[in-house]
Structure 1
Amino acid sequence: MTKPAFNFKMVAPLAAAIISVNAAAQEAPEKQSELMETIVVTAQVANARSDIERQRESNKVVAVQTSEAIGELPDANVTEALQRMSGVFIARDQGEGRFVGVRGIDPNLNASTINGMSLPAPETDSRAVALDVIPSDLLASLEVFKTLTPDMSADSIGGAIEIKSINALDQDGETYKVTVENGYSELQGENSPKFAGTYTNKFDLGGRTLGVAVAASHQERNFGSENIETDGVWEEFTALDGSEGVTAAEIEQRDYTVTRERTGLAANFDLEVSEGSQLYLHTLYSDFSDDEERQRNSFKLDEENDDPDTISASSVTWSDAALEKELKDRYEEQEILSVVAGGSHDMDKWGVEYAVGFSHAEESEPHRRDTTFVQEGLELGYTRAGKIPKMFAADTSAMDAASYELDELVVEDNYTDDEEVSFRIDFRRDIDVAGHPSELKFGLHERRREKTGDLNATVYDGFGGDFTLADFASNGVDYGLGVFGPGVNKGALNAFINANLGSFEIDETSTALDSARDYVMNEDISALYVMNDIDFGRANLVYGVRYEATDFSADGYRVAESGEAISGAEEIAEDVYVNAVSYERDYSNLFPSVNFKYDYSENVVLRAAYTESLSRPSFGDLNPSAAEIEYDEGELEVAAGNPALDPYEARNFDVSFEYYADSLGMFSLGAFHKQIDNFVVTADVASTADYSMYVGSLAVEEAEIFQPINGDKATLTGAELSWTRGFDNGFLLRANATMTDSEADLGLGADAERGNKITLPSQADLVANFIVGYERDAVSLRLSTAYKSERLLEVDLEDEAFDLYEDDHMQLDLSAKYRFENGMQVFFNAVNLTDEPFYANRRGYNGQYEEYGPAYVLGVTYSTF
């Protein structure tokens, strides 16, 4: 797929136009005074001003959003709040924002901290934290640092996300806020209640001040989605009648019904011992649960025949195909606990800060059930390809529940645990450098992290009778993307399973293959740094170096299905062998950095920075235990990790121009360039893999083996624009855009079947936001648009035409509020007004298409501040 090259020339006209708008705000003094008097009283403008001032004063390139600004938008969690900031995009799961990317880069290449301490990830595979588990009601501010200083962790190529929870010392005495709301999902027709509250107070303890802040939030969200996706790849086929074309061998229709609950608690205690001396204890607990029911039709087109009967550009027909109907009944719970205790003390020219932190994240998936019914010997296919394939079944029995036999039940109990203990101590000393005041800072940071996975599956294939879908059929599945046919009744099926599970026959081979996935990974990081912050009056220079030593180990299992014994392996089921595997590696890095800031005038700030950083591969990519091994009559499918992966390493260059109007107005233009080594890409490595690792001596005729590999080098170049403008008529405009262009070398060599050059995986060329706000008297309105261009998700090493791309996404949201004089506020939010779907494709052919529908929220808030 050819992508347009990035051109900085397209930025110039927009930059000139925006600067001219801001310059027009520099009117006569009396006119400026009138404008200030008009707009400063509005909450939207005051919040925007606070964000801008914090950005201006920072010695790094940063985007800031305070809790008050977050509250102006219809964002229910941290992820969705972050998407409004310059250079930030989000990856969605069933319409909700979950993971955060910065400057178009993969979310796994960012670092997330809360109250200064690293945040662990409850997901089995991810290093990136799904920040939707943290309700936005618990926040004081969000900061996205795009350049680093040596006192910050170096594990961030995209950006470092700092989450700060509420602090009572920042408030005026006793305050409280209570919110009650109800949401409505148009697709499912379900209600979603939510309750939230915060309380802060300051207590005089005889010359010492204790600040206490408590926040709580609970939401139950009922929603769903409709999906059609391809399992595997699209490829060239020659049909039995001689026709040629492109098709996939398996396509799935999916219908989801989901209940998500979020509970968040924060309790922060800050003690001002004396002027310049503070102690603190900050705690945050978040519980996220996802109760999901998924109805699925799997059109297994090549079940018996290797080739279709007929094929064209938009249709295909297969005979002797199979149609599977499956119910996934899954409850998943994630918990995050963060506890940070520390203090800071100023002692004349010396100062010291210290903190010890404990973070714990876990994910449990108890008693998950996947039940499959199958009907074989059908004539199946589609009459339309493209974004939404139109599936068909020529046999009327496809609509008959009694024609589907109960084929398989998989019961899983999966648990993941991620725990980190950290300590940091930082010293600072005021010194003069050539007559200029400066601060010398140095310190020690230690992190000890352990991530474990306990993954268990039991596969049943005998049920003591000939049961069919008719014994457990539902009345029908409300599915708008095609004809679905009968579904599975969850209640009737679970009653049958609960009463008879002990008598079912276990498939020992599949159970063994699916259960040998446990792992333990340890990652210990020790860091030392020194830096100097020099104030030249109108200029500021921060420079220094950070040293990080990483000690990584991974323990897991290698499992194989084989007709012969495998040396050194234990046979855990008939023809299934497993042996323990361990990997260890140590590496260390030096990270120099320079951040320069120059106040060219009262209105203009110039910045330049050079930093070096790294990003360690995700835990799923490093997992030594294969996530999936399926072998059937010569066909092998594998999804595996690669613990030998090297970390990404990056050299980062940044320059920026920032213009701040005397009245509310700001424009910034920045450029950045990143040189990245060892980038990671998931690829089908079947052409170079050793099949015996998975099937021993068994014959393999066709194979798909997906595994992460290190590419060679990659570059990413981009520009960021951000603009804010307040008007005396009550309007507030905010816009930002990040444009990037990347090139990565797969390092496959001259004999590769495909080209070596790709875009950086998960990189989006354009990320943009546009917000129109209006506030007058008691009325406040905000209309916001978030846009993300397409990005590469998966590489096909044999044919680049079938690389998987996520399509561009643009979402329109609305927030409206009315404030009463007694502190009460009524609000209405509308999310995804244009019903924007998720779409991923391979050369225009379906990869995944999913619709969520709009959602609406009506609520009331009462506060004393």
Structure 2
Amino acid sequence: MTIALVGAMPPALAQDSATTGRAQANASILSGRVHDENGSPLPGARVVVPELNSETTTDLQGEFVMPAPAQGEVTVRVEYLGRPDASTPVTLADRRIVVDITVPRGASSDIVVTGASIVDNTARALNQQRQADNTVSIVSADAIGRFPDPNIAEALQRVSGIGIERDQGEGRYINIRGAPMEFSTVTIDGATVAAPSPTTRAIDLDTIPSDIVANLEVTKSLLPSQDADAIAGSVNIATRSAFDSKGFRLSASAGASYNDYGGTSDRRGSLSISNRFGADRQFGILLAGSYSKTDRQLDNVENGWAVNAAGQVRLVETLFKDYDTKRERVSLNGALEWRPSPGNRLYARGSFSQFTDDEYRNRLSILWSEGAMAAGSTDSRATFSNTRIEKQIRHRVQRNKIYTGAVGGENLIGEGKVEYSASYSESKQTYPRRDELLFRSSLRPTLSYDFANPDNPTYSLFTTNEHLQADRYAFRENAYRANDTLNKEWGLSAKVELPVDLGGQQVMVSFGGRYRDRDVVSDEERFRDRRASAAPSGSLTSFLTDERSANFNYNLGYKIDPGKADAYFDATKGASERRIPQSITADYRASEKILGLFGMAKAEFGRTTVIAGVRYEATDFEGSAPTVALNGTVGKANVGSHYGKWFPNLTVRQAFTPELIGRFALSRGINRPNFVDLVPRQLDETDSSLTRITEGNPNLRPTLSNNVDAGLEYYIRPVGLISVNAFYKDLTDYRYTLSRTVGSTIYVRPENAPDGHLAGIEVNWQQQFTFLPGLLSGFGVFANYTWTDAEIKLSQAFAGRRVMPLPGQSKSSWNAALFYEKGPFNARLSYTKRSDYLNAVDANEPRLDLYWEGRGQLDATASYQVVKQATIFVEAKNLTNSPGVRYYGVRERVYEYEKFGYSIFGGIRIKL
């Protein structure tokens, strides 16, 4: 086997080395870059110098830096899963030495693809995971491209222990290790991302497209140097860098799809250009952008349930929703970097992502609560006299924007290092349109329902067809809402690493801190008009088109003309009556200042690495919300709090062999309450016949978690992994949402549960079957399974219950993918599944606890490298046409049932 290896100093690097040596004549630093035969960096490579008894790991750009106090001949050895070990002799002198190491494939490899392959992407991820001090999961950019995942949430669903929460079939929020979505944080290049939504700290990850990514790093056990507000884990989205390659690099992709529902098409494209320049190519610039637009239709039926005075479960309303939705994503990111010498760099990075959801919704409603339930009705079938029928069109445009920016750098100071940065993050959520026009039928029919088949219940309305008598509808009301939320955060951070000799043992001591200053403003305006003067000039009939409105097998009549509806909205919005209380009490303001300081020490005892340290975070919170007295007087209620918490940490990494790694960690984390839950806010909302009153709780305490993590990982040669990781989280003051239903009114308030726990086990297996003969050696598998157990203990019993499941926690989740890669062709068939999980607790009535049904989805991808620079690909998504289902208490009591159909996407990727 012949391994191409570039000698210690190519001309450009030798010049850089000599220059640096003159500038710092007494410095003795060994640095370099490890890459493949195409010049692509190899991150996570283990770089060992036996003579110095030292080792280090390459970063995302394949670069490394290590002290070299000795002089003379040494050997630099590189170990990288998926490739043969490589080594080269280096002569150390009293100056900086720079090496450039190429690690090609083995001679026995029959993989001739020059672009990134499935195996290459797996190797990049596994090498980084293997070398990490703590428990992390890595997803590389090209690996994301091998799945049909258009946004970050969907890309993360393939990682062990991560489930996603969907909106209209598309991933939006993530649950790490069965924990609620707020228990994880998201950063872009280290800058904390502020949440666009006014109701949660969780990040709408469907806002951020997956094609801006160079690397996704999921940290599941934190170190003292990391922010403590990630009980479940932290996701860092690393964007691309000009230093990912040696010189000019262009990559692009474009494609379109066919969508099963509606026969519509999606479009998607991306472009990234980068280059390095300067005498030693020490400057880098990168510009990248992406655009996607989806045109989707889906079927959706929602049933609101309640318990009447006689204790019977009955329908309150049924809503048949016919959606026409367009979703658009735009992203831009750029970076300027200066790396005058190894280990010294300055950077300025910025990113922008925008997500626009533009939907028209035709809705047919049956208001059972307006009628009287007949004798002989049961929990699953009933007859009501004197019901009401309504027809509505809504035009809603939601727009999320996320900006991040950071400037910073790092510099070597002797054998130590200092890192520093200043960052800014801003998220906006606006609703340019949230307009509704409602018509009500004068007919008051006797109607019945039967839920013998909860996925396809029968409603007598579609036999008697009173809803099709368009001339019996009259104007009921218009409604307008305008929402604006601005969430912005400034951050400053610094970290110093210095080697210290303690009794003959060299210890790397780190200390530093981070200051974060966040402000949130949420403003909402609500209008509604039922006056006769607000009615349109024409009846419902004049608004109807000749296009059928259908939902599953239900004939809803004809769709309302969106153009005519918009014309009506634009003409009447300014004159609409204002609903003063709700328009004001939905608002709030909040500010939060966090100062975090840490100190930690890292020592290596042979193959054992021990990290011990502590973090302290002080939090100052202030919030306010408007109040409206009975006489209409508007006031303001204020709240404030201050607290400090300590977060001790012990992390141990044991390398039994280079391939067998054990990890153990004791840590502590925090989850601060959602801003909207802390402010003294009370919001009264009425949707059709249901009223929902949501209150804030200024006395909420942050959730604290004492964590234990332990794992064992075996890295299979040439590329593979078998691992088992266990975790336990002891929760104090877990925050949950308590719902109480009284008649047709739902009262919602956040509360603290004094005690709880979350425990689980993750099992992971990745391997290519290279031991099989001939063509069969191209097969491989990705599989992981996570089992969790969790509960919370409430401060008091509700309806005889004090112990509850943890909302957002699926008992099990798993991924399985079979792939094939041989020569220029690869394909993958993947299935992901999570089990049912609790969505909301009803304090008075266990039968009305709201659950999400577990959902599985089958996807497939294939690609063929036509030439070195171009690859064609095809993606198939949701081949199982799996529904999204929510239910109350038992599966037979369906609250929401919707389907989205499959989509097939094809396109081309180009790399120059």
Give the TM-score normalised by structure 1: 0.88
TM-aligned CA distance change 1:308 to 1:579, over 3 Å: farther
Asked whether the 8 Å contact 1:416–1:452 carries over to 2, the reply is yes
1:320 maps to which of 380, 386, 396: 386
The Cα of 1:153 is off from its aligned counterpart by: 0.3
- In the alignment, which residue of structure 2 is the partner of 1:28? none
- In the alignment, which residue of structure 2 is the partner of 1:329? 395
Measured in 1, the distance between the counterparts of 2:838 and 2:465 equals: 40
Could you report, residue by residue, the CA deviation over 1:759-814 in whole angstroms, capped at 9, with x for unpaired residues? 11111111111111111112110111111111000111112233111111111111
Q: Does 1:37 align with 2:85?
A: no
1:416 maps to which of 482, 485, 503: 485
- In the alignment, which residue of structure 2 is the partner of 1:857? 905
Asked whether the 8 Å contact 2:722–2:765 carries over to 1, the reply is yes
Within 5 A, what are the aligned runs for 1:614-629? 614-629=670-685
The Cα of 1:84 is off from its aligned counterpart by: 0.7
The Cα of 1:284 is off from its aligned counterpart by: 0.5
Q: Does 1:835 align with 2:885?
A: no
- In the alignment, which residue of structure 2 is the partner of 1:470? 541
- In the alignment, which residue of structure 1 is the partner of 2:822? 776
Could you report, residue by residue, the CA deviation over 1:707-738 in whole angstroms, capped at 9, with x for unpaired residues? 22112211111001111111221112111111
Within 5 A, what are the aligned runs for 1:307-706? 307-308=373-374, 310-376=376-442, 377-384=444-451, 386-393=454-461, 396-464=465-533, 468-475=539-546, 476-501=548-573, 506=577, 508=578, 510-559=579-628, 562=630, 565=631, 571=632, 577-630=633-686, 637-685=692-740, 703-706=745-748
Residue 126 of structure 1 aligns to a residue whose secondary structure is coil
The Cα of 1:685 is off from its aligned counterpart by: 4.0
The Cα of 1:403 is off from its aligned counterpart by: 1.2
Asked whether the 8 Å contact 1:410–1:457 carries over to 2, the reply is yes
TM-aligned CA distance change 1:112 to 1:412, over 3 Å: same
TM-aligned CA distance change 1:768 to 1:406, over 3 Å: same
- In the alignment, which residue of structure 1 is the partner of 2:750? 708
Within 5 A, what are the aligned runs for 1:805-820? 805-820=851-866
The Cα of 1:207 is off from its aligned counterpart by: 4.7
Q: Does 1:788 align with 2:811?
A: no
- In the alignment, which residue of structure 2 is the partner of 1:184? 258
Residue 467 of structure 2 aligns to a residue whose secondary structure is helix
Measured in 2, the distance between the counterparts of 1:783 and 1:621 equals: 42
Could you report, residue by residue, the CA deviation over 1:408-463 in whole angstroms, capped at 9, with x for unpaired residues? 11112211101000000111111123433321000020000011111001111124
Could you report, residue by residue, the CA deviation over 1:624-658 in whole angstroms, capped at 9, with x for unpaired residues? 3334344999x964123323321111010011111
Higher mean C-alpha displacement, 140-149 vs 662-671: 662-671
- In the alignment, which residue of structure 2 is the partner of 1:303? 370
Asked whether the 8 Å contact 1:437–1:536 carries over to 2, the reply is no
Measured in 1, the distance between the counterparts of 2:199 and 2:219 equals: 25
Measured in 1, the distance between the counterparts of 2:223 and 2:587 equals: 38
- In the alignment, which residue of structure 2 is the partner of 1:221? 294
Residue 682 of structure 2 aligns to a residue whose secondary structure is coil
Residue 563 of structure 2 aligns to a residue whose secondary structure is helix
The Cα of 1:275 is off from its aligned counterpart by: 2.7
Higher mean C-alpha displacement, 151-160 vs 296-305: 296-305
Could you report, residue by residue, the CA deviation over 1:52-90 in whole angstroms, capped at 9, with x for unpaired residues? 110000001000011121111111111111111111111
The Cα of 1:478 is off from its aligned counterpart by: 3.0
Q: Does 1:733 align with 2:781?
A: yes
- In the alignment, which residue of structure 1 is the partner of 2:45? none
Measured in 1, the distance between the counterparts of 2:255 and 2:688 equals: 51
Higher mean C-alpha displacement, 307-316 vs 213-222: 307-316
Letter in 1 for 2:882: E
Measured in 1, the distance between the counterparts of 2:368 and 2:405 equals: 52
Measured in 1, the distance between the counterparts of 2:374 and 2:336 equals: 67
Aligned residues: 793
- In the alignment, which residue of structure 2 is the partner of 1:286? 353
Letter in 2 for 1:831: K
TM-aligned CA distance change 1:381 to 1:581, over 3 Å: farther
Measured in 1, the distance between the counterparts of 2:709 and 2:857 equals: 29
Q: Does 1:743 align with 2:791?
A: yes
Asked whether the 8 Å contact 1:91–1:97 carries over to 2, the reply is yes
Within 5 A, what are the aligned runs for 1:196-207? 196-204=270-278, 206-207=279-280
Letter in 2 for 1:85: V
Letter in 2 for 1:337: Y
Measured in 2, the distance between the counterparts of 1:631 and 1:183 equals: 36
Measured in 1, the distance between the counterparts of 2:795 and 2:532 equals: 51
TM-aligned CA distance change 1:436 to 1:384, over 3 Å: same
Residue 378 of structure 1 aligns to a residue whose secondary structure is coil
State the Cα RMSD in Å: 2.2
Measured in 2, the distance between the counterparts of 1:82 and 1:501 equals: 41
Measured in 2, the distance between the counterparts of 1:126 and 1:390 equals: 37
Measured in 1, the distance between the counterparts of 2:744 and 2:293 equals: 45
Residue 547 of structure 1 aligns to a residue whose secondary structure is strand
TM-aligned CA distance change 1:707 to 1:200, over 3 Å: same
Measured in 2, the distance between the counterparts of 1:800 and 1:516 equals: 30
Asked whether the 8 Å contact 2:275–2:284 carries over to 1, the reply is yes
Asked whether the 8 Å contact 1:301–1:381 carries over to 2, the reply is no
Residue 549 of structure 2 aligns to a residue whose secondary structure is coil
Kindly, what percent of the aligned residue pairs are identical? Answer: 28
Asked whether the 8 Å contact 1:397–1:403 carries over to 2, the reply is no
Asked whether the 8 Å contact 2:765–2:782 carries over to 1, the reply is yes
TM-aligned CA distance change 1:753 to 1:384, over 3 Å: closer
Letter in 2 for 1:480: F
Asked whether the 8 Å contact 2:423–2:490 carries over to 1, the reply is yes
The Cα of 1:817 is off from its aligned counterpart by: 0.4
TM-aligned CA distance change 1:702 to 1:254, over 3 Å: closer
Letter in 2 for 1:736: N
TM-aligned CA distance change 1:56 to 1:34, over 3 Å: closer
- In the alignment, which residue of structure 2 is the partner of 1:17? none
TM-aligned CA distance change 1:631 to 1:412, over 3 Å: closer
Measured in 2, the distance between the counterparts of 1:828 and 1:373 equals: 45
Higher mean C-alpha displacement, 67-76 vs 263-272: 67-76
Measured in 2, the distance between the counterparts of 1:487 and 1:631 equals: 21
- In the alignment, which residue of structure 2 is the partner of 1:253? 320
- In the alignment, which residue of structure 1 is the partner of 2:17? none
Unaligned runs of 5+ in 2: 1-81, 83-104, 771-776
Asked whether the 8 Å contact 1:309–1:319 carries over to 2, the reply is no
Measured in 2, the distance between the counterparts of 1:224 and 1:109 equals: 32
Residue 121 of structure 2 aligns to a residue whose secondary structure is helix
Residue 470 of structure 1 aligns to a residue whose secondary structure is helix
The Cα of 1:515 is off from its aligned counterpart by: 3.9
Measured in 2, the distance between the counterparts of 1:544 and 1:618 equals: 28
